[in-house]
Structures are given as C-alpha cells and as structure tokens.
Amino acid sequence: METSWPQETVWPLEHRRHATRLTKYLRDTLNSIDRSQNQSVPVDLVRLIINGTISLIAKFQRIPNLSTNHENLQKMQTETRTAEKETTQALSKIREDMKSNTSTADRSIAAIEEVKTLVREAAEGGKTAAGMLRDIKNKGPQPGGSTALSYVAVAASGTIAPNIHNRQSVQTTSTQTQREVTVNIKNRLTIQSLRAMNPRNLIAHVERAIQSSGNEQIMNVEVMSSNQLKSGDLSIRTISNSEAQTLRSHADDWAHRIGAGAAVRKPTYVVLAQGIRTSTMDMDKFEEVRDNILQDNRPFIPKAEIKYIGWLTKKAPSKSASSVIIECTKPEDANRIIDEGLVW
C-alpha cells in the first residue's frame, strides 16, 4: 500500500500559529515514516519542512528584546515621575508669586495672552509659507536665473505680486520622496517607545504592523528603512513608488498598529490662485466652493481631489480681491491648474 505523506501547506504569518502548524506537520510526517516500512521520504516534503522551519526561526529572530523594552519603560516611568514632581514644584512657586503680587501677575497673564495671540497669527500665516519654502528649496534655482518673486515672498509681504506664474509651489516630487511614507505620531509614550528601538528592531516593528493587518495587498511590501524623525514621526521607505502608494492607500489597516496616536500623513500639493474677488468665495462653505471649482475646471482636472481652500492672508476678507490657496492630493492636478489657469 502506498504511503500517504502529509500534503503541502501554507505557513501562517503569526509565529505561534506557524509553530503549532509546523509541529503537527512534523508529527504527521513521523507517523508516515513509521508506516512506510523504511521507504525514502520524498524530497519535496523534506524541502517544505526545511523552508517552514527556516521561516519560523526568522520570525522569532525579528521579535524585539522584551527585557530591553522593559528597562526602557521603567526609565521612562522614572523620568515621568521626576518631571511631574518638578512641574508641581514650579506651579507651587508660581502660585506663591502670584499671591504676593497680584497686579504683576495680572500684567503677566495679559502679556502671555497677547504673545499667544501673536504666535497663533504668525503660525497661520507661516504655515503656508513654510510648506512653499520647502518645495522651493527642494527644487533649487530656476534655469536662466529668473528673479520672479516667489510665492513665499508674496505670503511674507502680505501683498499680491502682478503677473506671477511660477511653478515653484508645485514641486515634482523626487523618487526618494515618492518612496517615503511618513507616519505622524501624536502619542508621547509611543514616540518614546519607538525612540528606544535600534534601526533593526524599528524595521521589524513596522513589518509586523503591516503583516498583522491581514490585508493581502500590502503583505509583500518590502520596507527598506525606517527612521524616527526629530519630531517623533516615523519615516518609512519602500523598494518602489508603487509600494509606498499601496501603503498610503491602505493606511487604516496597519498604521494604528505602529502605536497609539499613529496615522499616515498624506501629502498635498499647493496652488496659488490670484485676483479672486473675496465677495464670490465664502470660505465657511468649503464643500460648496470645492464642488464649484471642480465643476468649472472639470475639462482639465476631471478626477481631481481638493483637500483645502483658504485665503493666503488673514486680511484677505477685508479686501476686494486676494489670493487663494488650493491644496490638491495629486501633483499632476495642481500642475494642470497652473498650466491652464483656474476658472472661477
């Protein structure tokens, strides 16, 4: 009677389930050998067992060192307790100072509120300028040494420069940038936990988040590098642009597995439209304005997606006409608006 050898199997992604299935597979193989009356074991069966064992060992090797993580967490807890104690002492001193000199405290509070207001106003105006400045720096000087005023210079001066048609605001992204997926992390403990990992463990952590998602479309994505930025965010680079785009498209399946407060940052591409009559555009009705822009410009951006529309400066509503910032999700749509001109 011909021996019934175990059939080919697919090893699970999770290492414990993998170990359980491999153990059963080996046990079935031993039983078949006992029944085979010294018949030789098929080569394909031996190869399958060896590959399954190697794959399981690799999964265990990629598991982070739990003792190191535990030590780092204890260190973080100690630092947190120290910071809380210092903060409590500082607050107590502030209360005592305020009680001893109420008038001085009142003036200080008013000054602080005034500074906060100025900071908020500067941040609102500078947010757009900073993004455009990054694009201009990445692109570098324009051929021919053009001296046309940049969009950042316009934003800084608060005026509208005539006849500006400059593509510095939409930077054709480099190959390296296209392969990069940035995970924005807002949770402080997650930032500190990732900071404690070495580069190899950080890559393994990202790969586990992707594989444990259960999404077959991202299972084969290969992570080339994973680095934590000074801000605490995570920069992930893949083999190709398409793999990076796949990760962005399915971010909801894996990003939250990086840690609490983790989400993929989706890039946008800025266009500056000048000479828009402020009376014709109500920024409080974003969806209505967006839909009208998409409808009027559908001949050359039929499938565009707009994520943000806003005035370039806070003083724009008080003027008869001003410049509008439009953020698109695809660089080709932003470039088409620049080339064709915005219809409004």
Please determine, for residue 133, whether its predicted confidence score (pLDDT) is greater than 60. Answer: no
Sign of the alpha-carbon dihedral angle for 327, 332, 334, 337: negative
- CA 67 vs. chain centroid, Å, equals 29
Q: Binning pLDDT at 50, 70 and 90, where does residue 105 land?
A: low
Provide the pairing of β-strand 321-328 with 306-311.
antiparallel
Mean pLDDT of the chain: 78
Report for 67-81, 99-113, 230-244: range of highest mean pLDDT = 230-244
- Range with lowest mean pLDDT among 13-27, 134-148, 173-187: 134-148
Strand partners, 98: none
Domains detected in the chain = 15-61 (no CATH), 175-264 (3.30.70), 269-340 (3.30.70)
pLDDT above 70: residue 144: no
Structure tokens at 123: 């941040």
Q: In this predicted structure, which of 13-17, 168-172, 230-234 has the lowest mean pLDDT? A: 168-172
Whether the predicted pLDDT of 185 surpasses 70 = yes
Across 51-60, 64-73, 75-84, 128-137, least confident range: 128-137
Average pLDDT score over residue span 308-313: 91
Residue 152, token pair as written in the block:
């950042």
By CB atoms closer than 10 A (0-12, 13-18, 19+), residue 49 is: middle
| pTM of the predicted model as reported, rounded to 2 decimal places | 0.39
User: Residue 139 contacts by C-beta under 8 Å, 6 or more apart in sequence?
Assistant: 168, 171
- Pick 44 or 200 by higher pLDDT: 200
Within 13 Å of residue 96, how many CA atoms lie on the same side as its CB?
Answer: 6
CB 250 within 8 A of CB 218: yes
Q: For residue 129, is pLDDT > 70? A: no
Give CA–CA dist 149/232, Å, rounded.
34
Average pLDDT over residues 28-32: 83
Query: Residue 108: what pLDDT?
Result: 63
Residue with tokens 């990760």: 247
